[in-house]
Every structure is written in structure tokens, then in C-alpha cells.
Structure 1
Amino acid sequence: MPEKMQFTKARIAALEPVPGKRITVYDLEQKGLCIRVTPAGAKAFYCVRKVEGKVEWVRIGDAAAVTIETARNTTAKIVNDIAAGTNPAEQKRIRKAEMTFSDLFAEWVKECKAKGKKSLGNDERNYRLHLQGIAKKKLSDIERQHIRTLHRKIGTASGIYQANRVLALTRAVFNFGIKALDIPGLTNPAAGLKMHREESRDRRLHPDEMPKFFEALAAEENPDMRDYVMLSLLTGARRSNVQAMHWQEIHLERRTWTIPGSKAKAKDNITVPLTTAAIEVLQARAEANGAQGWVFPGAGKTGHLVEPKKGWQRLLQRAGIEDLRLHDLRRSLASFQIDAGVSLAVIGKGLGHHSQQTTAVYARLAQDPVADAWQKGTDAILVAAGVKKTAEVVPMKKLPGHRKSAIS
């Protein structure tokens, strides 16, 4: 086996492997270029040079895929780079160790969990659904144009609101890498990219929609879905809080549901009044399933109900209602309360809103007017649904499709 030879396609093809030994043959034409043959017969081109007293092997590629001419040109460039003070092998090692976006996102998630970030579940879902295209890319390979194109694509496929949330998430993850991890040379390709213009959403269930909405709800065969939607409407709570409602948070005698600060967006406990209709739904669930653990248990890793998208779409189709989201139920209760003459301050306290302008007002409010406001709001909903007359107290058992509760 020659140690050196003029590389040709035929001569390289004629190189035979040696059992138990990797052999190296150098090119007579290009200094530093060699080919290595493994005992299994694999052949690859390398550039071999001494850099700062250390022999560095820079792999160029498989001999079956890289031409001799390309191998020589690449070797010549590496030799010139070394002469100029650059170590290609070291750069390759740094490159190999560089974080991918997936690596950075995992570190960001750890930080968010430690800080108790409330919307982390949504962020992880957006990453899983929309950011897999850049997940395995090295951070230095992710360019501004990649993020701009992704933002535009999501806007077309999933809507401008979703696209903006993903852009904001990407920006936050890169900022974390820059500010918290101090990754050398890292820049934020999402910084400064313009969000899609969002219109303030004011969708609610209108009085004329209530009868068909309640009819569709009464026809729903899944009792968890019926009760979940009803309690979302009657409490005005955020959908994530209703999904994770726990019996330890419910006090039926006091007619209250206390959402702990660990689950609340503003990190303060929220006391939600339970109206007569809400109490009846909960009592029916307690009788049917017991009052232990989650109010809406689920088979997933959370242990409780998660976003029931299919059930919600089924309900809307049955009711013939369009462009209504689960979160709009929260806005619907507040709208009916306003229509009933309830003050914004009272509504804000029950909904758990938190701002510098209104916090002092909420703190001075007693719970009685808040509970009264929730009763007025749910009464107005039931009147609009056609199952109750104004100022008339009608048991929930008289609602259409009732068994143990209005939607059981």
C-alpha cells in the first residue's frame, strides 16, 4: 500500500482495506490532502496540517461523494486559512458544540418553570406546532429572513394572532440566550420584525344567540363538555382555570371558588362567586363523580381536562354560531353584567383583572356586591336563553336536556 500517490479515480478505487487497521495515503499533487481507508472499506478525504504544534485532521468528505478536484481545492483553502491564523478544526469543534434552537428553547423552558410562567403551556404548544422548521438549526444559521417568512406563513395558515404569538415567543427565546446565557456573538433574528396589526376582539354571545347556544349545549352527549362550557359561561373564569378546577378550591356552602395565585395570571388569589346555576352544576358533578381531585379529570399527563377543541367546534356547528371562541364566554358574562348595570370595578374584581388603575378600587370592594353581580349576569344569560323570565328564579333542572344538571 503506497503512502503517497498521484490521486486518480482509478487509483483510489483500487485501494484495498487492511483488516484491523486504518490506512492513510497522501496526494502527491496537493500538499496536506490525504485519503483514509477504514478496515470496513470506507474512504474519505482529509486535510492534515500542524496548527500551533498540534496535528489537526479536517474531514472534507466521502471519496464516493467528493471529487478529487473539489478535495484539492478545499484543502488548498484550508491551508491558506491556517497560514492566515485560522484553525478550521477548532472552528468545526465550536460549530459542533453550538446550540440549536431546540437546545435554547429547552433552557428557556427550565427558566420559565422556575419562575412559574402561566402561559408556558401555550408557548410549548406554539413551539411544537409552528417552530419545528428551525428547531434543529444551529442558532447562527437562523436568519432574519427565516423568521420573517415563518411569521408570514403562520399568518396565512393559522391567523395573524397566532403568528404574532409565535413571533413574540421566538423573540423572547433569543433574548434569553443573549441576556441570561450570554451566548457569544448571538443576535436576535426576530428583533424589530413588525407584528401583524391586530384588531381588539369584542366578540361575545349576543342575546339572540343564547337560545340556540343553550339548545346545542343541552344536545351535547359528553357531560364533561357540557359542564365545562356551562361553568366557563357562568363563572367568567379563564378557560385554563376552569380546566384545572380542583374540588379543594370549591366551597359550596360559601358559594365561592378560590383560584390560587399559582394558577392566576396576576399571581393573586381570585375569589369567583358561584351563582345558583353554577352550584347546581357542581353539585350534580359531585353526586355523579365524587368531590375529590379535579372537577374535570382527564387521561393526559396533566390529570385534568385540556382544551376541548373538537367538542367546542361540534357545539358551534350544532348551534349554527360562527367566530366564537371559548375565551369569548368570559367576555360574554361581563357584557351581560354591564347590560344589567353592574359597575366595571365590581366586574373587574370577580374576573381577577389586575392593573395599577383599578387594583385599589377592587381591594375596597366587599365580596357581596361581586356575588350579586355574578347572579345578575347569569340571570341575564338565562333570560336571554329563554329558560328564565326576568326576576324569576327557575331551577336548573328545568333547562332543556337536563338530567342532573343543565348540561349533564
Structure 2
Amino acid sequence: MKRMHFTEANVRALKTDGEYADDEVQYLRLYVTAGGTAKKWGIYKWIAARKHAVRRSLGDYIDLPVDEARQKAKEIYAALKYEASATPKAVTTTLGAALDEYTDSLTLKKRKQPRWADETFRREGVYDDWLERPMGNITAIELEGRQSKITKERGPAAATRALKSFRAVYAYAIRRKLYQGDNVGMDLELIESEPRDRVLNDRERGQVLAALETDEFKFTIWRPFFRLLQLTGVRWGNLAAANWKDVDLEAAIWTIPGSESKMKNVMRVRLRAEAVELFREQVGKDKTWVFPSPKKSRSGHITEPGYAWLRVLEAAGIEHATPHDLRRTFGSVLLRGGAPLEVVKETLGHRNIQTTERHYAFMDDLTVRKYLDGISG
């Protein structure tokens, strides 16, 4: 760049291509090309707050004499100074946009169940109708009302999971400066439920089996799904995301990758004959997922068995049981059948024996009662 004092005569005489700066209005520039046959005015301004330069075109020299170019440059420069010093506009991010970015970040980090918040938010009656709303427009009072509604319709455990996902998305948006307000989810108390020790007794297990064989469930995806939970003791989330590439029906082994396991360890699920047949029933329904989503969920596989399970319980005449209780029931049946604790640990995929002991400490009472009830007199 060459600095010079612009006059009509010396500008008209320029023949060398390049960028020229005026020594009177220092941000005024003249750009000469094509051996001097093309000359254009512009301004150049370095904006420290943005850490980059801003250039603006003012037009051709042939249409804008030197004095007019200086005046126009001053006007635009003043506007740029105001723009640079103005208070930055608050970032407006919708709840759905923040949710998408949070989910993408979990996916890139290869976190287990990266869509956990996405699946929670999009369930009907949770936050699905808030996705287009700006994050700053959702109040703590609104959220409290919504949490009460979720508790009433889905239970306290579902409300707790929903609030955890809400907090996580807001925390991510604040951290990434997608949102400049408060995490309103923190204004509500997070109520952790007490550890459950609910297991289904032999009669209830039979009632569930009978319910699954009724016309309502016999020809649906839920009969093999809940039956496999009974037969394998796996977490329902792992079964919902079962991928055919991990299933070897000839060897009767289903391998759950460490990336999908809660404890981050690879689980080898040994399949008994009835479980193998249930898997075979699903062959051909989808190339990837054992249990593809009938509603075409974003993940591609089923994601929410809660409503179907409630219908099964109603048909079975059973109250206060969750899909996870089937896992606990599976472990308790093994223990009552005399299986060593190490076998139960291996079957359930616990990382260490202490975890198994902690989760099945309640079995001591069942064992004692079994022997007490067998004593006459």
C-alpha cells in the first residue's frame, strides 16, 4: 500500500496497479487495476473489538470525484465507529437449537446415549411444544408447572429425568455462550427417588407373560421386547438400541459394546433358546435395529417403552412396577435359584461384585423369610 495526497490530477495520472491511501482521510483507499484503466474508491477500518478489518466499497472514481469520495468515506466511517462501539445484541437461541447443538456435542465426543436429552425433550407433554421458543422466554414458574404436569402424567422419575435434561441443555448453552441468561432449571429442586427394591413375584411374572400373549400385544413389537427383558435382565435402553451387527444368533450371544454399556465395559449376553427365537422373530424388520421405531424416531429404534409398559401392567393387573424392575427381578430369580453372586454379577454386567451386593442386599430378607416360612410350629 502506498500513501499519497489525493488530488484530481495525481489520481487521474495513476497507472500502476495497487492500493493507495489518502494522507488527509487516512482510511480512504483507491484501488487501481488494469494498468490504471479501472479505479475504485473504498475505505478500510480495523475494528479492535472484532479483531479484524472491515472494508467498504464507495464506487468508481469516474463517478465520484476526490472531494466527494472523502466526504462519503467520512460518513461511512462514522457509521462503522458507532456500530463497533454499540452494545452487542443479546444472542437469541431457541430451546430446540440449543438442544440440537448439545446432542451434536455428545455425539462428537462419543458419549454414551448422546440422544438422551433429545429423546426426553421430544416426548409428547414434556418440552416438545417449547422447542421453538427463545430460551430467555421460559420462566421458572412455567417450568414448575410443566414439571407438576409431567409428574402427574408420567410419574416422579420421569419428571426428575426431564428436569436433569433441561438443566443440562441450559448449562451447555450458557457455557457455549448460546444463551446469556440464567439456568432457570436450577430454581427447581431436583428430587431424587429412593433406590427401589421392587421385584415381581412368581405370580406377577406369570401375569405379565399372560398379558403379553393377549391380542393387544401378541402381534406387536412389545411382546418380544418385554419378554426379552424378562429373559436377559438387560437394561431396557440397551435392548431398545440393540444392533444386528452385535447379535450372533448361531452362537446365541449378543454383545453390548462398551460405548453403549452404563459401566463402559463390553457385555456378553448369553441367550437361552427362547431368547434366540424372539430375536429371530425380529429378523428382516430392519437392517440395523432389532427393534426399529414404528414412529420413525430420530434414533431409528424404539426409545420410550413407558406407555406400552403401563398398558401391559393394566392388562396384567399389576401396580407400581417399572421396566427396570424386570432386570432386578431377573437377578433375584438367579440368586434364589442358587446362582453364585459372581454369576449374577457377570450376567448383569456389573463392574465389580460390590455393586451386585449393594443392589441385591434386600435379597437377604427374602431368603430369611423363605426359610422361616418353611419352619413348622
Instruction: State TM-score, norm by structure 2.
Output: 0.60
Change (3 A) 1:272 1:184: closer
- Partner residue of 2:120 out of 105, 116, 126: 126
CA distance in structure 2 between the aligned counterparts of 1:352 and 1:164, rounded to whole angstroms:
25
CA distance in structure 2 between the aligned counterparts of 1:216 and 1:154, rounded to whole angstroms:
27
1:162 is the counterpart of 2:154: no
Change (3 A) 1:356 1:183: farther
Letter in 2 for 1:256: I
Aligned to 1:330: 327
Aligned-pair identity in percent equals 29
Q: Deviations over 1:295-345 (max 9, x none)?
A: 344552544445455653443333222233222211210111122233444
Q: How does 1:175-186 map to 2 (within 5 A)?
A: 175-179=171-175, 181-182=176-177, 185-186=180-181
Following superposition, the deviation at residue 172 of structure 1 comes to 1.3
- Partner residue of 1:259 out of 256, 272, 289: 256
Following superposition, the deviation at residue 143 of structure 1 comes to 4.1
Q: How does 1:42-191 map to 2 (within 5 A)?
A: 54=79, 94-95=89-90, 97-128=91-122, 129=124, 130-132=126-128, 134-179=130-175, 181-182=176-177, 185-191=180-186
**Paired residues of 2:256 and 2:268 also in contact (CA < 8 A):** yes
CA distance in structure 2 between the aligned counterparts of 1:164 and 1:137, rounded to whole angstroms:
22
- Partner residue of 1:212 out of 207, 211, 235: 207
CA distance in structure 1 between the aligned counterparts of 2:241 and 2:311, rounded to whole angstroms:
22
CA distance in structure 2 between the aligned counterparts of 1:197 and 1:294, rounded to whole angstroms:
32
Aligned to 2:247: 250
Question: Cα RMSD between the aligned structures?
Answer: 3.8
Aligned to 2:188: 193
1:274 is the counterpart of 2:271: yes
Change (3 A) 1:113 1:293: closer
**Paired residues of 1:345 and 1:358 also in contact (CA < 8 A):** no
Following superposition, the deviation at residue 273 of structure 1 comes to 1.4
Following superposition, the deviation at residue 264 of structure 1 comes to 2.0
CA distance in structure 1 between the aligned counterparts of 2:308 and 2:129, rounded to whole angstroms:
30
Letter in 2 for 1:266: M
The answer to which structure, 1 or 2, has the higher relative contact order (CA under 8 A, 6+ apart) is 1
Aligned to 1:26: none
Instruction: State TM-score, norm by structure 1.
Output: 0.56
- Partner residue of 1:351 out of 348, 358, 370: 348
Q: How does 1:295-374 map to 2 (within 5 A)?
A: 295-299=290-294, 300-301=296-297, 302-308=299-305, 311-354=308-351
Following superposition, the deviation at residue 174 of structure 1 comes to 1.9
Following superposition, the deviation at residue 133 of structure 1 comes to 5.8
**Paired residues of 2:345 and 2:352 also in contact (CA < 8 A):** no
Letter in 1 for 2:223: R
CA distance in structure 1 between the aligned counterparts of 2:305 and 2:148, rounded to whole angstroms:
27
Q: How many residues align?
A: 275
Letter in 1 for 2:97: D
CA distance in structure 2 between the aligned counterparts of 1:279 and 1:252, rounded to whole angstroms:
6
Q: Deviations over 1:64-123 (max 9, x none)?
A: xxxxxxxxxxxxxxxxxxxxxx99x956x714x422333322221211221233344442
